[in-house]
Amino acid sequence: MAGPIPQRELTWRGMVIGALITVIFTASNVYLGLRIGLTIATSIPAAVISMAVLRVLGRGTILENNLVQTQASAAGTLACVFASLPALLMGGYWQHFPFLQAGVLTAAGGMSGVLFTIPLRRVMLRDATLPFPEGVAAAEILRAGATRADTGSIRALLHGGMLAAGITFASTGLRLLGSGLSATAMLGAAAFRLSIGFSPALLGAGYLVGLQGGLAMLLGALLTWEVLIPVMAHLTPRPAGLDAGAFAQVLWQEKARFLGVGLIGVAAIWTVLRMGRPLLDSVRLLLVRAPVNARPERTDTDLSPRAIRTIAGLVLVMIGGVFFVFAHAAVAPLPALAAAMTGLACCAGLGLFVAAACGYMAGLVGSSSSPISGVTILAALCLACVFVVLRAAGLFAGAEGQHFTIGFCLYALTAITASAAIANDNLQDLKTGQMIGATPWKQEIALLIGCASGAVVIPPVLNVLYQTYGFVGAMPHAGMDPTQALAAPQPALLLMITSGIFLHQLDWNLLAAGAAAGCGLIGIDAWLRRTDRGGLPPLAVGIGVYLPMQVSMTLATGALLGTLVRRLNPQAGSHRGTMIASGLIVGESLTGVALACLSALSGQDSPLSLLPRGVPALVPDMAGLVVFVMACTWFSRTQVHPPTR
């Protein structure tokens, strides 16, 4: 008997649609990243848009839909290189963004992330402790769009999406609702703070993350703001004219987050080591051709060993080539070759580590909440330390050599950032594919295409934004309005860290303290697991330290809400809750993309704001709190007392 006819999956029209969606998401994320330091997860919006377009064109399948969103989300995620490339202008190394040097490095770095995620797919997607919230949500959306038979699931998705869209439009667009609320208590020089955000997407993501990860993040946030920062406030002189609350925020930004980076670094290393044996086995299987009688199923088939080796060789040549071109413009050929080979070795060595760390964090708390910038800081520290050693050995000596090595570290960091960003997002896409029966090697091709198409868009967008607004501390023309300059917070931070290492101005004590805390948490987690008392994921605690408290508290609220619902009604349909949570993520993501496009076109942060001037900030904040509590109540009631059909 003949098998079922395979569905359309990787198609030319799908690739074209994915490339067109790429332009919107990539440009929006680059602008948002440079303006406020945040980006929007693109997997779910891409899935919704591709589903709508293919339905209009006709004959679309769930697998073709999945490939379109996979390609578009990879390209939109690649926009995270905004964190490193602008630092080259801010440091005086470039005067504009060269298309080939920026585009080729971005594409090659992203493609290396795709290659790293192939063995990671086999390890992480089988880990039951990783919920992959956005991957699960995207799969539910694609399933709901593929059939109209399950009207209850579709209604739950639409209700959650409409609610989130309305709240996001009223808060981010009209500014009538606050996005979060903070309460600060003073005790002498110390400030104790509690903060919660009103993001529907984070609420839905927390519901999908589960109780263990949510509580671990909550613990990290509470230890930071109720213990660490008050102690720091007593030990650190407060600048004149700065109140205790503002001083606490400065301490978090400039000190406590570095402790979080150290904690995340140790926890990430431990996580990668725990996966070491399965990961090595997976790599070995990928690079050795399988016997004819041992072919895997279609849904577990990656790119062939020959294809992986060919693409890996091409990626290495591309990265090494642009490294040499960048270095040769500043130093002689032999030092340029040494810098290129060192940078290439660092990218290969650090690449798998950052891909594994970011992929694991994305699986644990979702791509939107994964602190990719913390891992990027760790990579910047490692790169800079390598080149400090080379300078101490006599290579790249002198003031000119120091200037060059700082710039080269920032340039090389772009490849690692692209690899980390792709791994952070792609494992969600591969999880989606696993749930709907997609073909992994076709998804991997779509991811590679997404990296190439995103890299084509990024340099022109960066140049347009730079010439139009400029960056704080780096204006392209005289007489430009500095108040309109893009803040570019991540590039400024990476430039400060990299320069601080070479100039011996970086405080290593906080990183060491965070690493020590990470070792202690690893021991506690191991003890809890050994005694069958659950666990305390050290990486999730580090994420709670590093991220703003509003994010951690909202994720924890979603996790607690899900646990409460299940205890109040053990028979409550978890599928309905998943669909509502997915709708919350979809509604905010789509509305956020639309508002980001409008903001980019208008050149204003809030072109639709209706909030009158002079209104106290507490008014929209309290309104936002009321609406958020009502949304949580509705979310709970619809599961404890689900509507009858």
pLDDT digits (tens, 9 = 90+) for 103-151: 899 999 889 888 888 877 777 777 766 777 777 777 877 777 666 545 5
The predicted-structure confidence for 254-312, as pLDDT tens digits, reads as follows 788 778 777 877 777 776 676 656 556 655 655 555 444 556 677 778 788 888 889 98
Token code pair at residue 504:
């011996």
Cβ–Cβ < 8 Å for 378, 265: yes
* pLDDT attached to residue 641: 63
Q: Is the pLDDT of residue 170 over 60?
A: yes
* pLDDT attached to residue 629: 92
What mean pLDDT comes out for the span 95-102?
87
Angle at CA of residue 120, ends 107 and 20, nearest 5°: 35
Q: Is the pLDDT of residue 562 over 50?
A: yes
* pLDDT attached to residue 28: 67
d(CA 636, CA 566): 10
Q: Is the pLDDT of residue 582 over 60?
A: yes
Confidence band of 317 (pLDDT split at 50, 70, 90):
very high
Nearest CA among 9, 285, 106, 155 for reference residue 576: 155
Across 597-615, b (16+ Cβ under 10 Å) vs e yields eebbeeeeeeeeeeeeeee
* pLDDT attached to residue 628: 92
The residue ranking higher by pLDDT, 314 or 215, is 314
What's the whole-number average pLDDT of the chain? 78
What mean pLDDT comes out for the span 27-44?
66
**DSSP characters for 93-130?**
S-SS--HHHHHHHHHHHHHHHHHHHHHHHHHHTT-TT-
**Integer CA distances (angstroms), 192 to 195, 249, 256, 453, 540, in order:** 10, 11, 14, 47, 22
* pLDDT attached to residue 590: 67
* pLDDT attached to residue 283: 58
The residue ranking higher by pLDDT, 571 or 402, is 402
List residues bridging with 187 in a β-sheet: 190
Domain ranges of the chain: 168-256+527-583+596-610+617-640
Q: Is the pLDDT of residue 340 over 70?
A: yes
> How buried is residue 100: exposed, middle or buried, by Cβ count under 10 Å (0-12/13-18/19+)?
exposed
